[in-house]
């Protein structure tokens, strides 16, 4: 059961200037949550904020600048947010897809891996004190049906070997699932009340593939516009994962009918949920980012 009243609960949503993130932020604000729109482009964030306030006049919403592809930006955001009190939910929603060529960030990470998972890994680690202070708080990570497309885990985070845009995206979304489920195991081992939940939106119509104008992305955009559900429907699983009172951690929330439908607990693929794979991925992520989680 989703808890309708979220008053007094502070939540951060990354990538909340459009698409599913914006829809989820609006729904949570309508339920009384104090929502931080963590966005790369502050101007787009302010436009999103005004849109939410049009729909929810008494919304308690603010904009925070966060570029997940720049660890310096992640650290600045964390420093700012740690001084603002307990955090009840961190929704790691932001994502990019199908960057045509392998592109490295200022920190030397492949761009899709950096934005979709490694930036969130560092962000979550930095915000753990605020999440611990929030008591029964939760971290929500967002995977994708695309994660089914890869047969194994790439512990080089798309930095080596042949680069295929769609498979690099799928790898990053597989990694989001591994991260979320391994994080929950570690939180439980540390006897923390904070939980980690995984979700995916099904096939929702967003601008995820709109940033790159090439034949593959134009085709995806065409079929997405024709067949996918609206972003507001795609946000249902994300909001459920962030607020449903019965969740105890480690669940994977997706649409009932795979690509669409009401939120449902689904079974993650073995590669996501395997503890040994989770440990190996976690160690690789800590080495690559230089970040160590403090969960005790």
pLDDT digits (tens, 9 = 90+) for 141-153: 999 999 999 999 9
Q: List the domains of the chain with CATH numbers.
A: 10-289 (3.40.50.720)
Report the alpha-carbon distance of residue 133 to residue 223 in Å, rounded. Answer: 44
Predicted confidence band at 224 (pLDDT cuts at 50, 70, 90)? Answer: very low
Average pLDDT over residues 90-116: 97
Report the pLDDT value the prediction gives residue 294, as an integer from 0 to 100. Answer: 84
Catalytic residues: 169
Residue located via tokens 């306030």: 53
196-209 pLDDT per residue, tens: 999 999 875 455 54
Average pLDDT over residues 62-82: 98
Predicted confidence band at 62 (pLDDT cuts at 50, 70, 90)? Answer: very high
Poorest-confidence range of 1-5, 197-201, 232-236, 263-267? 1-5
Average pLDDT over residues 32-48: 98
- Higher-confidence residue of 51 and 293: namely 51
List, as one string, the DSSP characters of the chain. Answer: -B-S--TT-EEEEETTTSHHHHHHHHHHHHTT-EEEEEES-HHHHHHHHHHHHHHSTT-EEEEEE--TT-HHHHHHHHHHHHTT---SEEEE-------SS--B-TTS-BHHHIIIIIHHHHHHHHHHHHHHHTSS-EEEEE--GGGGG-SS--TTTT-SS---HHHHHHHHHHHHHHHHHHHHHHHHHTT-S-EEEEE---SB--STTTT--SHHHHHHHHHHHHHSBPHHHHHHHHHHHHHBTT--SS-EEEETTSSSSSEEEEPPPHHHH-HHHHHHHHHHHHHHHT------
Predicted confidence band at 91 (pLDDT cuts at 50, 70, 90)? Answer: very high
Poorest-confidence range of 33-37, 190-194, 238-242, 261-265? 261-265
3-state helix/strand/coil string of 46-111: HHHHHHHHHHCCCCEEEEEECCCCCHHHHHHHHHHHHCCCCCCEEEECCCCCCCCCCCECCCCCEH
pTM above 0.85, yes or no: yes
Helix axes 165-189, 275-289, angle to 10 degrees: 100
β-pairing verdict for 263-266 and 252-255: antiparallel
Query: Does pLDDT of 221 surpass 80?
Result: no
152-172 pLDDT per residue, tens: 999 999 999 999 999 999 999
Report the pLDDT value the prediction gives residue 4, as an integer from 0 to 100. Answer: 76
Report the pLDDT value the prediction gives residue 209, as an integer from 0 to 100. Answer: 45
CA distances from 89 to 49, 84, 148, 172, 235 (A): 19, 14, 27, 22, 15
Query: Does pLDDT of 117 surpass 80?
Result: yes
Question: What is the pLDDT of the chain when averaged over all its residues?
Answer: 91
Predicted confidence band at 256 (pLDDT cuts at 50, 70, 90)? Answer: confident
Report the pLDDT value the prediction gives residue 233, as an integer from 0 to 100. Answer: 76
């Amino acid at each position: 059961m989703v808890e309708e009243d979220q008053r007094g609960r502070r939540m951060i949503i990354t990538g909340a200037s459009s698409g599913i993130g914006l829809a989820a932020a609006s729904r949570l604000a309508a339920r009384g949550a104090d929502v931080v729109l963590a966005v790369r482009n502050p101007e787009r964030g302010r436009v999103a904020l005004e849109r939410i306030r049009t729909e929810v006049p008494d919304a308690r919403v603010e904009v925070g600048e966060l570029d997940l592809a720049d660890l310096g930006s992640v650290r600045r955001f964390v420093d700012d947010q740690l001084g603002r009190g307990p955090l009840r939910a961190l929704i790691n929603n932001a994502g990019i897809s199908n960057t045509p060529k392998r592109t490295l960030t200022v920190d030397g990470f492949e761009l899709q891996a950096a934005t979709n998972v490694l930036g969130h890994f560092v962000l979550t680690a930095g915000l753990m004190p605020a999440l611990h202070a929030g008591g029964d708080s939760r971290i929500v990570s967002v995977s994708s049906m695309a994660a089914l497309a890869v047969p194994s885990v790439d512990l080089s985070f798309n930095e080596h070997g042949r680069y295929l845009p769609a498979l690099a995206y799928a790898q990053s979304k597989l990694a989001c699932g591994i991260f979320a489920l391994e994080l929950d195991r570690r939180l439980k081992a540390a006897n923390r009340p904070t939980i980690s939940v995984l979700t995916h939106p099904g096939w929702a119509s967003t601008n995820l593939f709109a940033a790159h104008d090439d034949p593959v992305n134009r085709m995806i955009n065409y079929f997405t516009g024709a067949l996918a559900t609206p972003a507001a429907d795609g946000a249902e699983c994300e909001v459920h994962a962030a607020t449903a009172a019965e969740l105890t951690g480690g669940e994977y929330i997706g649409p009932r009918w795979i690509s669409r439908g009401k939120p449902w607990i689904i079974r993650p693929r073995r590669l996501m949920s395997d503890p040994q794979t989770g440990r190996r991925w976690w160690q690789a992520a800590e080495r690559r980012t230089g970040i160590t989680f403090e969960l005790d």
